[in-house]
Amino acid sequence: MYVPAIFLQSTNFIDYCYIVAFSLFIYGMSGLTGPRTAVRGNLIAATGMAIAVVATLLTKHIWDGSATPWLIVAGMAIGTAIGIPAARQVHMTAMPQMVALFNGVGGGAVALIAWVEYRHRFGGNYTLKSEIPTLFAATIGSISFWGSGIAFGKLQAVLPSRPLKLPGQAVVNGGLFLVTLASAIVLAAGVHSQALFILGILFAAALLGNMVVLPIGGADMPVVISLLNAFTGLSAAATGIALNNTAMIVAGMIVGASGTILTNLMAKAMNRSVPAIVAGGFGGEVAAPTAGDIDRGPVRSTTPDDVAIQLSYARQVVIAPGYGMAVAQAQYAVRDLEKALEGKGVRVLFAIHPVAGRMPGHMNVLLAESQVPYDLLKEMDEVNPEFARTDVTLVIGANDVTNPAAKNEPGSPIYGMPILEVNQSKSVIVLKRSMASGFAGIENPLFYEPETSMLFGDAKQSVSEITAAIESL
């Protein structure tokens, strides 16, 4: 009995477990390259995590202290009790908020751990090697926690999604950053009023997290969420260095890499640089006086019956969904429309812009939920050449991502952003509640083009009416 216990508790055994764990993370993530292997990939990664946690719980002395076992068990039980229901009940439309929330608690955990580590290691045997990563983790973790909180508030519409900007924001942010940096340097140099400075770091970083995300408009949310995801990952990797834990280093770094890749993809899809987004302000200050002055001509409106006829006689129809479709809960109606058209022998494709939802890949999840076959979902580069061959394009709740001004009006605030070139198709039908401008507050000349007609009303109801009309043809 005794010998296996020693073996299981040996540092060697536990370190090997960590190696197994991070290998499983990497292997699991590589399963995400295809929808068929993805579920298994996620399970493999989860197994890796289970191994890492169990190995940690086997570590010698970890249960020492009268309160320790209770607190560990209680903490994990409470976390499970909160995490599982949240994960099971969340609606797919609310996924960005959920991810922001999970990301935030991760960042918060990093900041708290760094804080404790600092408190009781300082002054003693505390080398720069663990001190610098700890300070880094405290800063980034705190930024991530508060920034994710604000992002959650904006996505959940608890906070206004328009950019909130203070005068002199850049100066304030710069100042906060300097305070954080200065506190970190003072601490690392070994000045002994450590309690004050670690609080200074956590507090300044918290303010910074708030200040950086508050001025960012809702349209930029996919970038913000990806960026905060990368931050939490990097802070976890830093904690891993401080604690000599290989599983944490590798896991954190993979998340950092993934977050960075997604951030760049999203920023590229919006033709914006990450620093410009973080510096804030999109949409809010884009007053559209010039756009309003141009007389773009009349707007044609149409009826569900006319649309149904047009669609039934088409050979190829492309549906370009936007977040508005999800807001109207129209995914299921759209799936029914797709089925009805398929029944008539019409080829239907879905054109998915990278920033069509509120986070990377969000639209795909929403359509997958309503059981649209994923091979009909085409990415922007894949679908753009198709528009010339398309008879009718249905734009449902999307606006800015179809705005041709991004291609041919150099003065437009979104000029240069890659778009779905829906105006290349023979005719375009835009389903829209009213003529109000999109999320970014930019007028869309697409609506005034001769091949475009507008179908005003609630997206879900309009789509159902079209489907009914097609079926009765």
Partner 1 sequence: MSLVTEIAILVLAGFVGFAVISKIPNTLHTPLMSGTNAIHGIVLLGGLLLMHEAHGWFEHLLLTIAIIFGTINVIGGFFVTDRMLEMFKRKPEPEPTADAPAVDGEADGRPEIEK
Three-class SS state of 84: helix
Check residue 468 for interaction with partner 1 (CB under 8 A): no
Residues 6+ apart with CB under 8 A from 102: none
Residues 6+ apart with CB under 8 A from 53: none
Number of continuous H segments (helices) and E segments (strands) in the chain: 19, 6
Closer residue to partner 1, CB minimum distance, 92 or 279? 92
Overall residue count recorded for the chain in this entry: 473
10 Å CB burial of residue 413 (0-12, 13-18, 19+) is: buried
Asked if 120 and 151 count as a contact pair (C-beta separation under 8 A), the reply is no
**Contact pick of 9, 13, 20, 53 for partner 1 (by CB under 8 A):** 53
The residues that bridge with 348 in the sheet, in sequence order, are 317
Min separation Cβ 20 and partner 1, Å: 14
The CA distance from 38 to 353, in Å, is 22
**Contact pick of 45, 176, 291, 401 for partner 1 (by CB under 8 A):** 45
**Contact pick of 6, 62, 195, 196 for partner 1 (by CB under 8 A):** 62
Q: Is 391 a catalytic residue?
A: no
Closer residue to partner 1, CB minimum distance, 91 or 389? 91
**Contact pick of 190, 297, 373, 416 for partner 1 (by CB under 8 A):** 373
Min separation Cβ 104 and partner 1, Å: 9
Check residue 152 for interaction with partner 1 (CB under 8 A): no
Min separation Cβ 240 and partner 1, Å: 8
Check residue 57 for interaction with partner 1 (CB under 8 A): yes
Residues 304-343 vs partner 1: string with x where CB under 8 A?
-------------------------x--x--xx--x----
Angle formed by the axes of helices 169-188 and 128-155, nearest 10°: 150
**121-140 residues near partner 1, rule: CB under 8 A:** 129
Residues 6+ apart with CB under 8 A from 236: 106, 110, 137, 248, 251, 252, 255
Q: Where are the alpha helices (DSSP H) in 243-361?
A: 246-269, 274-279, 289-293, 304-312, 323-327, 331-343
Determine which one of 220, 336, 400, 458 is catalytic. 400
Q: How many residues bind partner 1 (CB under 8 A)?
A: 122
Residues 6+ apart with CB under 8 A from 130: 117, 121, 241, 242, 243
The amino acid present at 59, given as its one-letter code, is T
**Contact pick of 5, 6, 7, 91 for partner 1 (by CB under 8 A):** 91
Q: How far is CA 224 from the centre of its chain?
A: 7
Check residue 99 for interaction with partner 1 (CB under 8 A): yes
The CA distance from 229 to 232, in Å, is 5
Check residue 153 for interaction with partner 1 (CB under 8 A): no
Q: How far is CA 296 from the centre of its chain?
A: 35
Closer residue to partner 1, CB minimum distance, 39 or 294? 39
Check residue 188 for interaction with partner 1 (CB under 8 A): no
**64-83 residues near partner 1, rule: CB under 8 A:** 64-65, 67-68, 71-72, 74-76, 78-80, 82-83
Check residue 113 for interaction with partner 1 (CB under 8 A): yes
Closer residue to partner 1, CB minimum distance, 258 or 303? 258
Residues 19-38 vs partner 1: string with x where CB under 8 A?
---x--xx-xxx-xxxxx-x
**351-370 residues near partner 1, rule: CB under 8 A:** 352, 354, 357, 359-362, 364-365, 368-369
Check residue 347 for interaction with partner 1 (CB under 8 A): no
The CA distance from 281 to 176, in Å, is 19
Check residue 54 for interaction with partner 1 (CB under 8 A): no
**223-252 residues near partner 1, rule: CB under 8 A:** 225-226, 229, 232-233, 235-237, 239-241, 243-252
Min separation Cβ 32 and partner 1, Å: 5
For residue 432, the surrounding DSSP H or E stretch is strand 427-432
Question: Which is nearest to 232 in space by CA: 204, 265, 186, 263?
Answer: 263
Closer residue to partner 1, CB minimum distance, 150 or 405? 150
**246-285 residues near partner 1, rule: CB under 8 A:** 246-262, 265
Angle formed by the axes of helices 194-213 and 95-121, nearest 10°: 170
Min separation Cβ 319 and partner 1, Å: 16
**Residues marked as catalytic:** 400
